[in-house]
Structure 1
Amino acid sequence: MKLKKLKLLASVFIISLLSSMAFNKAMAEEKNPFRTFDTYKGIGYEQAYRPAFHFTSIKNWINDPNGLMYYDGEYHLFFQHNPLGTGWGNMTWGHAVSTDLVHWKQLAHAITPYGKGYVFSGTGVVDHNNSLGKQIGNTKTLVLMYSYAVDARKGFGILTPPKETKYYQGLAYSTDRGRTFKLLNDGAPVIPFQGRNVDPKGTERDPKLFWHEGSKKWVTLLWLGESSGGKVRIFSSDDLQKWKFESDIVRPWAHECFDLFELPVLDADGNLPNNPQKKWLIYDGSFDYEIGSFDGKKFKSEQALKNHKLGHWNAAQTFNNSPDGRRIIVGWLKKSDFWRKKMPFTEQLSFPAIMQIRRTPEGIRLYRWPVKEIEKLYGKQWRLPRGCSISVANEELKNIDKECLDMSIEFTPGKDKDLELNIRGSKLSFNATKNTIHFISKSNLSKKSTWDAKSVEEKKDRKNHRFKYDQYVMNDALNNKGTVKLRILVDRGSFEIFLNDGITVLTHSELHDLDNRSISFSGGSTLINSMKIHEVKSSWKTSAQK
C-alpha cells in the first residue's frame, strides 16, 4: 500500500514538475522582449520615403542579409535586425519570404537573443539529405548557422553585458518550411570559440555554410575575428554538428561576411561556351575577391586580388540552392537614413543581382546585373529616338514624371566630348579625356559647395571633416565596342549604377527630393545611341500587413 502511495505521489510530483516547466517556458517566451513582431502589423508600406523595390523591414533597423536560401517555391531572406528600434543593436534575425525576389512578406523574427548574447550574421541551407536528423515527413529541414555574440563592449543592446567577449557558432533549424525555428541543443556551440591565441578580442564570426558536392560534405568558412590578422578557417562536417578543421586562409584584406561558391566562366559577352570551365570565387564583406579552385578543404587563388565594391554597400551574401542555377546576391545598402525623415524603418538592402565571371583581356572578372524579375514591377515605358541629340533627348525627357525608374543608356562618345546626365539634382558625367564616369549625388554636391567655399586653413582643421563629401569614379568607361553602356536603378532612397553589363557597379544611398523628378543631359554634342526608361512600381501592399 505504501509503495502504491509513493508511486502515486511520485507521479503527481513529476506531472506537477513538467507542468511547471512548461508553464515557465511559456512565460519566458511570452516575456521575451525581442518578440515584437505583433506590433508591426498595424504599419503599412505607403510612407513617402519607403523604397518601392528595395527591401526594408516593416519597421526598425536592418543591416546584413543572412541565411539566404531557396526551398519549395520560396526565397528566404533573413537579416540582422533590431526589433526594438531604428538604431543598430539587439541583433536578432528578421525573416521574409518571396516567390519572385521582388514581392516580400515579412514573417516573425526567426532567432532572438538569449542568455547574454546576440545573434550575429550567418548562413542558411536546405538539409537535403537529412544530415541533422530532424526531418519530419517529406518536408526538408532548413538549417541556420549563426554567430552567438557574447560581447563585453557597451552599446550592443538591453542584455546585461558579460565579463568577457567570447563568440561561438550555433545552429537553429525549422521543420515547418521556415515558419518557426528551434535552437539546436538550446543554442550550445557546434563550432566552439577558437581561442584568444587566434583572435585576442574573441570576435570570430559570420560563418558561411554550404554543401560541397565534390567531397559530399558540409563546409563552413569562419572569419576568425577583428584581431586575427586576416584569418579565415575552413571546417567540414557530415552531420552539421561535429566539425573538423581543414585549413586556414590568411589574407591581410580579410574582413567579415565571407562567401565561397563555384561559377562557370563565360566569354567576354556573357555567353556560356560549350563545356565551360568552372572556377571558385571567394569574397569578404568589403567585396575584395579572388578567383581560384577549392577541393572541399583548401582554397587556392589563381589570380590577383580585385575589388567589386563602390559606394554604400556591405556584407553581401548569395542565395544557397537557387532553383535555376543563378547565383543571386543581396547586400546591405548602408547609410540609408530614413529615420531622418521620421520613417518607422531605417536602412535597406540592395536589389537582387545575378553574379557572373567572364573572360576579359585583363583576366577573369566579376560582373553583377539586376535579376530579370524586376520586369514584374514595370509600368509605363519610354524609348528615345535612336541616335538623338542632347536637345532632342531633353525634350523627350520632359515628359517623364515618375518616382522610381529603371534606365538603360548607350552612347558613343567622340574624342574630347564630355557628357553629363542630371537625375533629380545628382550628376553622372563622362570624362572623355580620362575615359571615366563620375558620380556625385545632390546631397554631396551641397557638401562639396560648402567644402569648396572653405579656406585652406579651415580645410586643414580636422574638426571640419564633416564637410567632406562622397564622389565616385568608374574607370575604363568605354567597352570593347567603343561605347558606354549604363543601367541605372532609381528608387526613393538610392541609386544603383551598372557600367557595361555590370563589370563595375556603384550603389549609393540618397534620399531624393520628392518634388524633383527631372532628368536631363548637358555638355558636349554626343549622340545618344539608345535610351529606354521603365517606370518601376511599388512591390509592397499599400495597406498594413495582415
Structure 2
Amino acid sequence: MNSVTTTVETYRPAMHFAAEDTWLNDPNGLVFHEGTYHLYYQNNPFGNVHANMSWGHATSTDLVSWTEQPVAIPCDDVEEIYSGSIVLDAENTSGFGADGKAPLVAIYTSAYKPGSLHEGTQAQSLAWSTDGGYSWTKYAGNPVLTRNSPEFRDPKVFRYDGPSGSYWVMVAVEAHDFTVLLYRSQDLKSWVYLSTFGPANGTGGIWECPDLFELPLDGDSSAIKWVLTVNMNPGGPNGGSAGQYFVGEFDGVTFSSETTLTEGMQDPERVPDYQWLDWGRDYYAAVSFSNVPDGRRLMIGWMNNWQYANHIPTSPWRSPMSLVRDMSLVSVNRHPRLLQHPAPEVRATSTPGPEQRLALNGPATVEGGTAVQLIDVTFSPGDAEEFGLVVRGSADGTVGTRIGIQPGSGDLIVDRTHSGDTDFHEAFASTSRAPISAAKEGNYTLQIFVDHCSVEVFANDGLVSVTELIFPDPAQTSLTLYSTGGTADAVLQLTNFEKDDA
C-alpha cells in the first residue's frame, strides 16, 4: 500500500509532543525549573516548513502532557534564532538576575541575516528570563562569542566544578569541520577557548547539536565517565540524519574519548561499529535537560529526518518530538555503552493488560492491537530464520510496519516499506537494521511504543533503539506476530493508552 486518504489530524501523536499548527525541529533550551520541564525548540511561527527559525516553547510537569506556550525568542530582521541551551544561573554570575531572583540564561546561535552587522556568520548570543522562562530579553552585547564563521553553532552550556576550577563550559560545533569546540567563562558573557575534539568516527555529514555530560558507570558514583554526543546529517547508519556518542574523560579543558574507532574522516566499513544514539531514520538533534532533580539525565530528540523533513504528510503541524529518555551508562564486554529507557512517567499513565503466550509457526493475529499502545514482547527462538511483529497493519499482516529479529545475522529490522503513505518522498520507504544479540538466557526482549505516526523500538534492555516515522491508514490497527522458516515462542503484554482517542 503506497498511499492513504487522510484527514487534517490523522497523524497527530497522542504520546509525543507536536506543535499545534506550525513546524518544529531541534529541541533547544531543555531545563527543569521550579517543578516544570521546559522544552524549547526550533520553530517556524508562520508556517509548517523550515523557515523563520525562532524558539518555540512547551511545558510539562510529568514529561507526558505538554502545553504549548507562546513563542519564546522570535526571529527578527537581524537574526534567526538557531539551536542552543538554557542554564539556571543560580549565583547570578551573569548579573541578569533581579530582586534576588536567579535568572535563566539562554545561550543560542544567532544566524545573521543579509544586511545585518554580522551578515553571513553564525555566532553565540544570550537572552535571559526572570519570570521562569516565559519571557526573554536579548543581551545588548550580543554576540558574546564569534569566530566569524558561517557554520559555528549549537552551544550546549553547563556548570563545571572539578579539579580545574568552577566555571561555565560551552560545547559548540564547527559543522563542516566535524569538530566540537570547548570554551569556558565565569559570567556567560566572556569566553575563552579550551580545546577541540574531532574529526572522529562518523563524519559522513555535518556535525550539529553536541552535548557533554557525566554519568556513573554501572551505577557506581565513584566511576564517573563523560559522554559526548554529536548529531550528524547525513551519514547515519541507515541513511540521512543520526546521532553518535563517545565515552571518555573531561578534565575541565579537554575531552578524551576511549571509544573512538576512527580518527579523522570515517571509514565506511566501520560505520556499523560506531556508537549510535539510535539506529532508526527519525531521531536527530537529541540533547539533554539541565537541572533535573536526583541526577537524572533525560534526553529528547527531533523525530524526523532532513532527507524528507519538509514533506511528511501532516497538516497543519509538521514534525513531532521523541519520547523523553532516561540515560545511563553500563559496561558491555568491558566497554562503556549508553542505555536508553523511555521515562517511566510514560508507562505510569496506563495499566498493562494480561500476559499472552504464543507458539509461532507462521503469522498469528493478536487481539488488542490499537493505534496507540506499548507492546512488551519477549521472543524465545526455536529454529525460525526470522520472528517478530507487524504493527499498525492489516488483518493478514501483509500491510503494516514489520519489526523483526534475524538471529542468524544478528539483525533487528524495522521495515516501513508497506507501512501506509510512503510516496511523499523517494527516500522515505526504507528498511532499517540494527545489531541485536540474545540475552544470556537466549531470549530477545523488545519494548515498542506505537503512536499515530511513529514507532520507537527499545531492544536489549535499552542498548539498542530504532525510531521511525510511519503514516498508516487510520483503519490499520491490527497486530500480528510471526515466524518464518521455523518456530518461535513469544510472551506478549499490551498497554493501551487512554489518550488514543484524544
Quick check: TM above 0.5? yes
Higher strand share: 2
Q: 2:87 — aligned with what?
A: 125
Give the Cα–Cα distance (whole angstroms) in 1 for the partners of residues 428 and 60 of structure 2.
39
Q: 2:325 — aligned with what?
A: 353
SS of aligned partner of 1:93: strand
SS of aligned partner of 2:480: strand
- Structure 1 residue 435 displacement after superposition: 2.6
Matched, 1:259 2:231: no
Matched, 1:322 2:292: yes
Q: Is the 8 A contact 1:444 1:470 kept in 2?
A: no
Which residue among 135, 142, 148 is the counterpart of 1:188?
142
Moved more, 108-117 or 162-171: 162-171
Give the Cα–Cα distance (whole angstroms) in 2 for the partners of residues 342 and 279 of structure 1.
41
Give the Cα–Cα distance (whole angstroms) in 2 for the partners of residues 138 and 392 of structure 1.
68
Give the Cα–Cα distance (whole angstroms) in 1 for the partners of residues 500 and 135 of structure 2.
25
Change (3 A) 1:291 1:123: same
Q: 1:440 — aligned with what?
A: 415
Which residue among 243, 248, 252 is the counterpart of 1:292?
248
Q: Is the 8 A contact 1:309 1:506 kept in 2?
A: yes
Matched, 1:136 2:89: no
Structure 2: 5+ residue runs without aligned partners? 1-7, 233-242, 262-274, 394-399
Give the Cα–Cα distance (whole angstroms) in 2 for the partners of residues 256 and 483 of structure 1.
37
Matched, 1:309 2:271: no
Which residue among 146, 150, 160 is the counterpart of 1:212?
160
Correspondences of 1:447-486 after superposition (within 5 Å): 466=426, 469-486=429-446
Correspondences of 1:155-174 after superposition (within 5 Å): 164-174=119-129
Q: 2:480 — aligned with what?
A: 520
Higher helix share: 1
Moved more, 53-62 or 422-431: 422-431
Give the Cα–Cα distance (whole angstroms) in 2 for the partners of residues 65 and 470 of structure 1.
25
- Structure 1 residue 341 displacement after superposition: 4.8
- Structure 1 residue 429 displacement after superposition: 1.7
Give the Cα–Cα distance (whole angstroms) in 1 for the partners of residues 333 and 369 of structure 2.
41
One-letter code aligned to 2:192: K
Change (3 A) 1:265 1:107: same
Q: 2:228 — aligned with what?
A: 282
* Residues 415-436 of structure 1, C-alpha deviations (whole Å, 9 max, x = no match): 4443131112111122132232
* Residues 298-349 of structure 1, C-alpha deviations (whole Å, 9 max, x = no match): 1111222522232211111100111121100000100587976562210011
Which residue among 245, 249, 260 is the counterpart of 2:197?
249
One-letter code aligned to 2:253: K
- Structure 1 residue 444 displacement after superposition: 6.1
SS of aligned partner of 1:428: strand
- Structure 1 residue 483 displacement after superposition: 1.0
Change (3 A) 1:207 1:404: same
Change (3 A) 1:392 1:492: same
Q: 1:234 — aligned with what?
A: 182
Q: 1:101 — aligned with what?
A: 63
Q: 1:411 — aligned with what?
A: 379
Correspondences of 1:42-61 after superposition (within 5 Å): 47-61=9-23
One-letter code aligned to 1:234: L
Q: Give TM-score scaled by structure 1 length.
A: 0.78
One-letter code aligned to 1:329: M
Matched, 1:178 2:178: no
Give the Cα–Cα distance (whole angstroms) in 1 for the partners of residues 58 and 379 of structure 2.
40
Cα RMSD (Å): 2.7
* Residues 204-257 of structure 1, C-alpha deviations (whole Å, 9 max, x = no match): 11011111121210000121232xx22222111111111111122232537011
- Structure 1 residue 290 displacement after superposition: 1.1
Q: Is the 8 A contact 2:59 2:66 kept in 1?
A: yes
Q: 1:509 — aligned with what?
A: 469
Q: Which one has the largest radius of gyration?
A: 1
* Residues 20-60 of structure 1, C-alpha deviations (whole Å, 9 max, x = no match): xxxxxxxxxxxxxxxxxxxxxxxxxx933210011101111
Q: Is the 8 A contact 1:61 1:345 kept in 2?
A: yes
SS of aligned partner of 2:426: helix
Q: Give TM-score scaled by structure 2 length.
A: 0.84
- Structure 1 residue 89 displacement after superposition: 0.3
Give the Cα–Cα distance (whole angstroms) in 2 for the partners of residues 280 and 466 of structure 1.
39
Q: Is the 8 A contact 1:339 1:345 kept in 2?
A: no
- Structure 1 residue 108 displacement after superposition: 1.2
SS of aligned partner of 1:324: helix
Give the Cα–Cα distance (whole angstroms) in 2 for the partners of residues 209 and 368 of structure 1.
22
Structure 1: 5+ residue runs without aligned partners? 1-45, 153-159, 267-271, 451-464
Q: Is the 8 A contact 1:67 1:123 kept in 2?
A: yes
* Residues 328-375 of structure 1, C-alpha deviations (whole Å, 9 max, x = no match): 000010058797656221001110001111001151111111000002
SS of aligned partner of 2:81: strand
One-letter code aligned to 2:143: P
Change (3 A) 1:207 1:535: same
What percentage of residue pairs aligned between the two structures are identical?
A: 29
